[in-house]
Amino acid sequence: MDSTMQDFPLTVAGILRHGTTWHSSRRVITKLPDGYRETSYGELGTRAAQLAHGLRQLGVSDSVRVATFMWNNQEHLEAYFAAPAMGAVLHTLNIRLAAEQIAYIANHAEDSVVLVDMSVVPLLAPILPEMKTVHTVVAVGEGDVDALTSSGKNVVRYDELLDGQPIEYDWPDVDEKSAAAMCYTSGTTGNPKGVAYSHRSTYLHSMAVCTANAIGLADGDRVLPIVPMFHANAWGQPYSALMAGADLLMPDRFLQAEPLVAMIEQQRPTVAAAVPTIWNDVLQYLNANPGRDVSSLRFVACGGSAVSLKMMKEFETKFGVRICQGWGMTETAPLAAVATPPPEVNEAEHWALRSTAGRVLCGVEIRIADDDGNVLPSDGKAVGEIEVRGPWITGFYYENADPSKFHDGWLRTGDVGRIDPQGFITLTDRAKDVIKSGGEWISSVELELSIMEHPAVLEAAVVGVPDERWQERPLAAVVVKKDSSATAEELRKHLCDKVARFWLPERWTFIDEVPKTSVGKFDKKLIRSRYADAAYDVVECRD
């Protein structure tokens, strides 16, 4: 039986209309080298309309990809709304990737126009000639555009593009399942893979962020998205803020602890989001500079890698700021889980749950599966690869037929862990790093943490290496502290009461430093290949 409800689509234009109409006096504040510049949501609506008219003059029509190569600022926000609302597709390029990756991504997505902040022109200019489908570059900000024009592309200044354009745009009715925005994942293996968010997924994800079990973004909140707008929609906050009527505080390129703390003191955000590294820097800065006040923050979303309990407790007790872990990835729009414990638990349980990656949000269905695709119980004990499905979860990659990341309609996240009966997720490994020993899984991360609890150990990385009998066994690569010493036997004994007996590594190597990737994570691929090349001195140690 059909319902009698209106067939009304969920679109980015709907969010834009709501925010710019009913919250027209809310602010967008962008950090400058010295001070800030401001506009209102009303003005944002006007300028988004002008940008859409300008883009249309540049030949942008339905489904055309409009790329951005920008920091978090007002113009990036204008593009966030104008491109999807006019029926085009916003494509946020990650300015931190290697040049060849950026070129590959722009070509794969067939970007047509690129908006670029003048401050990152030196990064883009050398790549432009490789961007085959890009015909026009829009320069945002003041300064010399010679480096762009020499690429042979058409170059337009952003302000001139908007100047004199009509201040209203008749946003078209778009199919809610059509693409609104694209983002590529930068996996450590293979080419980057593209995700195309729909209007529907963007709308639903934004609503989810506004629910009380997620971030509960509300009218009058002031949001500071430190996580870049080129990373999975800045965790959806630009869209959620317009939905809620929350001010947006844009840090632009000023992402060091000192300007961030100054911005927090001066602009008094209530909500912020960033990766743990940034909050670690902020914490160190606050400790080194007593008397600074960041207490306006009621909720700080933190994710991307594990957040230490120590940091969360220190922020909460010393600075009155709740840091809350969230879990997700580009493929999940990104928010899929938030680590908010139920109000009735005791303090120990509270912190144990705060230490998890998060609790699954309504709208995301979650399960774990073993290597053979068997679904395992969410009992807080079984460990498997986490799989998710739902209306803001990726179903396939753009122009990529590889089905290996999907399982019966569920996304295989590549994260390995446990789910407790209340939906709290504990991550134990990345799927590619888990050690498969005789049909059982060993968590490389948990082994590392246990080894690093030994007082003589500075760092330890554990990887799986081939083993004739067990298929794979752990290799522990350990960095001992200066003026300390530890033998393999000692470390193995140290682990005895911490992990299961079959987890105990037989192979140990003592190295000067754990090799790291460009973003500071342990480079386990390199460790495995060095082991294969016999580049390490390996100590064998068994009982």
Does 325 sit near a second copy (CB under 8 A)?
no
Q: How far is the CB of 405 from a second copy (least distance, A)?
A: 11
Q: Is 2 exposed, middle or buried (0-12, 13-18, 19+ CB in 10 A)?
A: exposed
Q: Which of 133, 432, 436, 459 is catalytic?
A: 436
Does 365 sit near a second copy (CB under 8 A)?
yes
| Vertex 518: Cα angle to 398 and 525 (nearest 5) | 80
Does 536 sit near a second copy (CB under 8 A)?
no
Does 10 sit near a second copy (CB under 8 A)?
yes
Tokens of 298: 């009621």
Instruction: Report yes or no: 128 and 102 within 8 Å, Cβ to Cβ.
Output: no
Question: Is 331 annotated as catalytic?
Answer: yes
Does 377 sit near a second copy (CB under 8 A)?
no
Among 141, 259, 423, 515, binds a second copy (CB under 8 A): 423
Among 158, 184, 319, 392, binds a second copy (CB under 8 A): 392
Q: What are phi and psi of 83, to 5 degrees?
A: -60, -55
3-class DSSP state for residue 6?
A: coil
Among 259, 391, 414, 515, binds a second copy (CB under 8 A): 391
Q: Which of 43, 75, 176, 331 is catalytic?
A: 331
User: Which residue type is seen at 11?
Assistant: T
Report d(CA 124, CA 373) in Å as an integer: 43
Question: 331 or 385: whose CB is closer to a second copy?
Answer: 331
Question: 283 or 338: whose CB is closer to a second copy?
Answer: 338
Does 422 sit near a second copy (CB under 8 A)?
yes
Question: 23 or 524: whose CB is closer to a second copy?
Answer: 23
- The answer, yes or no, to whether the previous bond of 515 is cis (omega within 30 of 0) is no
Interactions with a second copy, residue window 83-112 (CB under 8 A): 89
Does 373 sit near a second copy (CB under 8 A)?
no
3-class DSSP state for residue 402?
A: coil
Does 407 sit near a second copy (CB under 8 A)?
no
Q: How far is the CB of 446 from a second copy (least distance, A)?
A: 24
The 168-207 site mask, x for binding a second copy (CB under 8 A), equals ---------xxxx-------------xxxxxxxx--x--x
Does 362 sit near a second copy (CB under 8 A)?
yes
Per-position b or e across 462-480, b if 16+ CB within 10 A of its CB: bbbbebeebebbbbbbbbb
Does 327 sit near a second copy (CB under 8 A)?
no
If phi over 0 gives left and psi between -120 and 50 gives alpha, with beta otherwise, what is residue 182? Answer: beta
If phi over 0 gives left and psi between -120 and 50 gives alpha, with beta otherwise, what is residue 358? Answer: left
Report d(CA 282, CA 297) in Å as an integer: 13
Interactions with a second copy, residue window 47-76 (CB under 8 A): 62-63
Among 56, 298, 389, 432, binds a second copy (CB under 8 A): 389
Q: How far is the CB of 127 from a second copy (least distance, A)?
A: 23
Report d(CA 76, CA 70) in Å as an integer: 7
Question: 342 or 438: whose CB is closer to a second copy?
Answer: 342
Q: How far is the CB of 62 from a second copy (least distance, A)?
A: 8
Q: How far is the CB of 15 from a second copy (least distance, A)?
A: 7
Interactions with a second copy, residue window 449-468 (CB under 8 A): none
The 271-310 site mask, x for binding a second copy (CB under 8 A), equals ----------------------------------------
3-class DSSP state for residue 164?
A: coil
Tokens 């354009």 sit at which residue? 165
Q: How far is the CB of 97 from a second copy (least distance, A)?
A: 20
Instruction: Report yes or no: 526 and 511 within 8 Å, Cβ to Cβ.
Output: no
Q: Which of 39, 133, 149, 185 is catalytic?
A: 185
Q: Is 399 exposed, middle or buried (0-12, 13-18, 19+ CB in 10 A)?
A: exposed
Instruction: Report yes or no: 328 and 232 within 8 Å, Cβ to Cβ.
Output: yes
Report d(CA 538, CA 543) in Å as an integer: 17
Interactions with a second copy, residue window 336-355 (CB under 8 A): 340, 342-344
Q: How far is the CB of 201 from a second copy (least distance, A)?
A: 4
Among 12, 15, 66, 234, binds a second copy (CB under 8 A): 15
Question: Is 441 annotated as catalytic?
Answer: yes
Report d(CA 27, CA 249) in Å as an integer: 8
Q: How far is the CB of 247 from a second copy (least distance, A)?
A: 11
Q: Is 220 exposed, middle or buried (0-12, 13-18, 19+ CB in 10 A)?
A: exposed
Does 358 sit near a second copy (CB under 8 A)?
no
Strands (E), 14-88: 27-31, 36-40, 65-69
Report d(CA 393, CA 511) in Å as an integer: 41
CB atoms closer than 10 angstroms to residue 491: 24
Interactions with a second copy, residue window 210-269 (CB under 8 A): 210-213, 216-220, 243-245
Question: 6 or 317: whose CB is closer to a second copy?
Answer: 6
Q: How far is the CB of 27 from a second copy (least distance, A)?
A: 12
Question: 17 or 432: whose CB is closer to a second copy?
Answer: 17
CB atoms closer than 10 angstroms to residue 80: 28
Q: How far is the CB of 459 from a second copy (least distance, A)?
A: 36
Among 190, 421, 439, 520, binds a second copy (CB under 8 A): 421
Question: 25 or 284: whose CB is closer to a second copy?
Answer: 25
Q: Angle, to 10 degrees, between the axis of helix 276-288 and the axis of helix 257-267?
A: 80
3-class DSSP state for residue 159?
A: helix
Residues assigned a catalytic role = 185, 331, 436, 441
